[in-house]
């Protein structure tokens, strides 16, 4: 049991890594003082050889588990054959990937990018062109609407889509974000906000882009039926419905794509993170010909996006998603984890949110020693990797390939931490002014 007498320290080897970060690395996402050297399946090991159970999946990148042998084998083979075949030429892997995505999800076209932010930026760019060409929005008046508390990346264009941003990076991209041209702010999950915005400004709005379940805001699921109403409103106002599936897609929330939980077919789908099974940075946008066909050469692309390694890995990752029934596993294991945590009647937790293995623990507002950062730090001390999400939530997102035994073992650690956290003394990296992730 934790107590005020306990002292938790960072090892010498870990501190050396932390010092190099502090001395030589700029930016980043305020990592916890855990220095990992290798991973496999649902486990990870640090510089001291300490073993961890991964309850984070590196922010939904490792849905298929770390180093899945089928994905690793084809990625290595592609790398040895020729790692870079990019924009000036044709790569058979890219064409095969686009066709597989077409066969799996039914969209006419796919364009590959590298990061989720790059793909979200591309979706905005595509929607703007559609708005001007097809919807005939007057030049300079096209607006891309998002939902408050959204997260689509940290580049300048994707930060512009958010409701919270620092003025030191302004001015931001105009005519994008959760505030409609008339000034109406669209809150996530509040259908009346979107209805009011579209009724006032629908002629200027080309698209509404939304996460089916908000990720970095704290894994926040909307009210039941919300997404269906969103789709209907967008269709009624001739507004493109765009879903950002970067965090919640590819089995993570219990369906191959999260929006399929509501039997929807958005106009554009943004993919990323787990698309290449964690072997290569690969993202992209799916859409039909009446939208994607508007693109001319040189308008959307990325030097490293569709290279053989990433595309080969993605082909294998999609096979694993289907052949190993990862969406079904996500639902079954999510139910198992949730039932165990609920049965423990844990202190400080007032709710659970999300779907499948895209889950968050919602904390009460007090006491002051029960903070997401402290909880995650104690979890790491006890061998489970998780992350803070939003201001009062803990992100729990194990690989979809995790065994029931490992899942329940990790759950027992979570249960112990929640019971002990209030009595624990100072923990490594427990204080951070503002945590989004």
Which is nearest to 227 in space by CA: 186, 187, 179, 259?
259
pLDDT score, position 8: 79
User: pTM (2 decimals)?
Assistant: 0.96
Residues 126, 295 contacting (CB under 8 angstroms): yes
Burial of 310 (0-12, 13-18, 19+ CB in 10 A): buried
Cα gap 399→391, rounded to integer Å: 24
Instruction: Report the chain (437 residues): mean pLDDT per 10 consecutive residues.
Output: 63 95 91 96 98 98 98 98 93 97 98 98 98 98 97 95 91 97 98 98 98 97 98 98 98 98 98 97 98 97 95 98 98 98 97 98 91 95 95 96 98 98 90 51
How is residue 360 annotated by DSSP? E
pLDDT score, position 7: 63
In Å, what is the CA distance from 111 to each residue of 101, 147, 257? 11, 24, 17
At 297, give phi and psi (nearest 5°).
-55, 145
154 Cβ neighbours under 8 A, 6+ residues apart: 117
């Amino acid at each position: 049991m934790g107590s005020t007498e306990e002292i938790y320290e960072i090892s010498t080897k870990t501190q050396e890594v932390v010092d190099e970060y502090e001395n030589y690395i700029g930016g980043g996402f305020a990592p916890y003082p855990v220095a990992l050297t290798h991973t496999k399946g649902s486990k990870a090991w640090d510089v001291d050889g300490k073993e961890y159970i991964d309850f984070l999946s590196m922010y939904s990148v490792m849905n298929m588990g770390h180093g899945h042998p089928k994905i690793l084998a084809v990625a290595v083979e592609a790398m040895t054959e020729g790692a870079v075949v990019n924009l000036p030429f044709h790569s058979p892997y890219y064409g095969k990937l686009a066709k597989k995505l077409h066969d799996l999800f039914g969209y006419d076209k796919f364009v590959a990018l590298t990061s989720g932010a790059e793909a979200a930026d591309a979706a905005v760019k595509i929607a703007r062109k559609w708005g001007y060409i097809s919807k005939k929005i007057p030049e300079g008046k096209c607006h891309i609407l998002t939902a408050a508390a959204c997260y689509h990346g940290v580049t300048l264009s994707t930060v512009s889509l958010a409701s919270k941003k620092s003025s030191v990076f302004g001015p931001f991209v105009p005519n994008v974000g959760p505030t409609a041209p008339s000034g109406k702010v669209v809150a996530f999950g509040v259908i009346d906000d979107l209805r009011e915005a579209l009724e006032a400004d629908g002629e200027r709005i080309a698209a509404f882009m939304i996460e089916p379940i908000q990720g970095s805001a704290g894994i926040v699921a909307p009210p039941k039926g919300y997404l269906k109403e969103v789709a209907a409103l967008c269709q009624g106002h001739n507004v493109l419905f765009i879903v950002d599936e970067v965090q919640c897609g590819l089995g993570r929330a219990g369906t191959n794509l999260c929006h399929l939980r509501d039997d929807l077919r958005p106009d554009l789908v943004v993919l990323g993170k787990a698309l290449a099974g964690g072997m290569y940075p690969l993202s992209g946008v799916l859409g039909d010909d009446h939208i994607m066909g508007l693109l001319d050469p040189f308008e959307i692309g990325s030097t490293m996006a569709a290279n053989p390694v990433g595309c080969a890995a993605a082909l294998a990752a999609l096979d694993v998603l289907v052949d190993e029934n990862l969406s079904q596993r996500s639902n079954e294991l999510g139910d198992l984890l949730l039932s165990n945590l609920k049965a423990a009647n844990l202190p400080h937790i007032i709710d659970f949110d999300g779907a499948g293995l895209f889950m968050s623990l919602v904390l009460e507002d007090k006491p002051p020693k029960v903070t997401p950062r402290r909880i995650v730090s104690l979890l790491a001390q006890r061998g489970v990797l998780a992350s803070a999400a939003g201001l009062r939530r803990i992100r729990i997102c194990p690989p979809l390939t995790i065994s029931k035994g490992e899942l329940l073992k990790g759950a027992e650690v979570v249960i112990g931490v929640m019971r002990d956290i209030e009595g624990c003394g100072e923990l490594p990296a427990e204080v951070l002014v503002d945590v989004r992730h």
